[in-house]
A and B are shown apart, each in its own frame.
Chain A
């Protein structure tokens, strides 16, 4: 049984058909890339999966449960978390505080304990802090643990976005252009980390424009064009697919 199943999902904004009749599934433990030219509807698909936009038609199933119509926080509670394409961070907070916010669901001691700052609340806090520091270390941000997110260089901000998503302890992680704007070294490091996250048992859906990254890291690829699925398969199959080359690669070398 696939971990995530989209069945005949459509989304229209008024007359604009952003996603039409899309069916695809993601298996547990794979890195599944979603590619397509600008405006193909990749980010919209993320917004549909996370409940940011309600679907116009079709069904979403996650881990065997129907999650169509779930609110974003409910989707997060089911175990799906995401990083954003725009750098969405808590800019006025430190790196550590940003990651701690990601622990919102998993580090609760109960409202009363938290309000009174009881010892129980402090113990959970320490536990979370410890885990947060581990994530920060893993994402290569150890040196800037106490810096304000707004002051970080772009590459680090993207890494922090992924750190926050990891703090939610997801089963399925959606990464929206995680290496955009990074230099080659940062990109290589990020790709390594994406693999490592998968090896720790997290399923990943990746939206990315950098074809070298996509071809190198993906187990499977789904190609969208104008909101429709035009191809699906292994990286080498996509590379050789004539329809994909026409729709998408007329201008770009694979």
Chain B
């Protein structure tokens, strides 16, 4: 990582730390949602690495959310315990499903993902134990020592920690030999298996690790909304997740989905004035981005801002070589 990139990262972290005091509580709540969405976007990008587009994201998000809600309500368990348990349940359930699905290839995976999303919502809604379409009862506020999560700032910081851990784990995996094998599967299945990569096993591992973090994102969502309602986990959510990755920039590793989640979540927020036209305007904006900027927002930045940046540096006599790391250091 170059010096500029380090400075940039440092500035970003400071900004994220003081952010709650700079914005109003409503916007902070949107940020909290965005963090959960960003983790979903990360999972989509993470599994796309092995050549599998997943549309089952909302299902496992719901599994995490309902696990936390039910365990806190029915078993009186602490929120902190439900967090990993939700992840593990998503991994175990996922194992039973994907061990059958993954050997049948990408198309079957994609379609079964859509079915899973819709089935999960139906199950949450129609099994009386989960509280029907009305959702669960309100869960007790999670606490950590003296901090209660009535304060949205606490929820926000918990989100930053979870997102950070999620990012670091994905990144460590991507840069390891496991990630190299994943990338090989994603770019050429035939070649990967010809060098001895067990495609099914590697894909299964990737998808289940994704499941774990998606469920964590679901538990986190409940820490903020305090209820789990079936209509929170819709097929539209699963589609949006793909949007985050495309809008953010599909070739930009793990930074893309985070930027994408921010933009796709905040565009509609600022279009609230257009009220009933909001979905139309949002969809149009996203279609325009896909048509005119297929490389996503980070793609534009790299193409336009970086040369401008480099030019500035050259004129001021600084060495140009280091600023190249600004965008690309994060890639696999």
List residues of chain A with CB under 8 Å of any chain B CB. Answer: 50, 52, 71-73, 76-77, 81-82, 84, 88-93, 97, 100-102, 104-105, 107-109, 111, 114-117, 121, 125, 164-165, 167-168
> Which residues of B lie under 8 Å from residue A105 when comparing CB positions?
195-196
> Which residues of B lie under 8 Å from residue A121 when comparing CB positions?
176-177
**Of B176, B188, B195, B197, which is within 8 A of A167 by CB?**
B195
B191 x A88 contact (CB < 8 A): yes
> Which residues of A lie under 8 Å from residue B119 when comparing CB positions?
none
Within 8 A of A (CB), among B177-196: 177-178, 180-181, 183-184, 187-188, 190-196
B172 in contact (CB, < 8 A): yes
Within 8 A of A (CB), among B67-113: none
List residues of chain B with CB under 8 Å of any chain A CB. Answer: 172-173, 175-178, 180-181, 183-184, 187-188, 190-199
A91 x B196 contact (CB < 8 A): no
> Which residues of A lie under 8 Å from residue B192 when comparing CB positions?
101
- Given the contacts A50-B194, A115-B172, A73 and B199 also touching, CB distance less than 8 Å: yes
- Given the contacts A73-B196, A101-B195, A117 and B172 also touching, CB distance less than 8 Å: yes
> Which residues of A lie under 8 Å from residue B188 when comparing CB positions?
88-90
B187 x A72 contact (CB < 8 A): no
B187 x A81 contact (CB < 8 A): no
CA distance A108 to B198 in the complex (A): 14
Residue among A88, A116, A168 with max Cβ neighbours from chain B (10 Å):
A88
B195 x A91 contact (CB < 8 A): no
> Which residues of B lie under 8 Å from residue A114 when comparing CB positions?
176-178
3 A-B pairs with the lowest CB-CB distances in the bound complex, closest first: A76-B196, A72-B193, A105-B196
CA distance A125 to B193 in the complex (A): 21
> Which residues of A lie under 8 Å from residue B190 when comparing CB positions?
52, 72, 84, 88
Q: What is the distance, in angstroms, from B80's C-beta to the closest C-beta of chain A?
A: 24
Name the residue of chain A whose CB is nearest to the CB of B192. Answer: A101
CA distance A82 to B181 in the complex (A): 18
> Which residues of A lie under 8 Å from residue B178 when comparing CB positions?
111, 114-115
**Of B175, B177, B191, B197, which is within 8 A of A84 by CB?**
B191
Q: What is the distance, in angstroms, from B199's C-beta to the closest C-beta of chain A?
A: 7
A115 x B176 contact (CB < 8 A): yes
**Of B175, B181, B183, which is within 8 A of A93 by CB?**
B183
CA distance A125 to B196 in the complex (A): 18
CA distance A254 to B182 in the complex (A): 45
Name the residue of chain A whose CB is nearest to the CB of B181. Answer: A104
Q: What is the distance, in angstroms, from B191's C-beta to the closest C-beta of chain A?
A: 5
CA distance A72 to B193 in the complex (A): 6
Give 14 pairs: A residue, B residue, CB < 8 Å, sorted on A.
A52-B193, A73-B196, A76-B196, A77-B196, A89-B188, A90-B191, A91-B187, A93-B183, A93-B187, A101-B180, A101-B181, A101-B195, A104-B184, A164-B195
